[in-house]
Homo-oligomer: A and B are copies of this chain.
């Protein structure tokens, strides 16, 4: 169905705006706009203003560059967290992913992307210098690299490794291995090979 003849300019504008969002086509956009038309004007105003307010007022934490409502984010200003371990991630969503594991109680450093020459993103576009500064000036014991296992992620990993290897700080990366729930026959050979190399000994069997 070709739906280019909108009965109203206002409708068309709203559909155009929605259709700019990733993963939303013109048909979905129309469905969303017609849904909004059935809501109270007050509720739609709250929606529209929440977006405007978000974009205008959100800040980035001066320490870790995560998004925040304040100058220093909730994680960096939390006295219960270990300030001497930094987990380096690509973006805001990765912070949330790691937080949801509830396995990490240190601080973060959000790079704001990864090195990707194809997309024109070099080290200078990322928050790498500020990471080096944090390591030099703070009492950091360990930097955990938690980047994607893609070529770009590995490149960024290596770049940061070279920048930090001479500082007095432990460097580590996430364990690579078989995901929980994976069936062996579907795992690629590199992952499986690494999982064999880095196999974990059952402690009880070591004593024998």
Contact = CB atoms under 8 A, between A and B. Distances in A.
A50 B32 CA distance: 13
Given A22-B31, A66-B7, A67-B8, A2 B100 contact: yes
Classify chain A's interface size.
Answer: 35 or more
Copies in the complex: 2
A48 B22 CA distance: 16
Contacts of A17: 46-47, 50-51
A63 interface: no
Contact of A8 (B6, B32, B68, B99): B68
Interface of A: 1-3, 5-11, 13-14, 16-17, 20-24, 28, 30-37, 39, 41, 44-58, 66-69, 73-75, 91-93, 95-97, 99-100
Given A10-B69, A16-B50, 15 more contacts: A5-B96, A7-B68, A7-B95, A8-B58, A10-B57, A10-B58, A11-B58, A13-B54, A14-B54, A21-B32, A21-B35, A24-B32, A30-B93, A37-B55, A37-B58
B45 A52 contact: yes
Contacts of A47: 17, 20, 48, 51
Most B CB within 10 A of own CB, among A16, A22, A47: A47
Contacts of A7: 66-68, 73-75, 92, 95-96
B52 A11 contact: no
Tell me the interface secondary structure of chain A in the complex: helix
Contacts of A73: 7
Nearest to A35: B22
A93 B22 contact: no
Contacts of A50: 10, 13-14, 16-17, 48
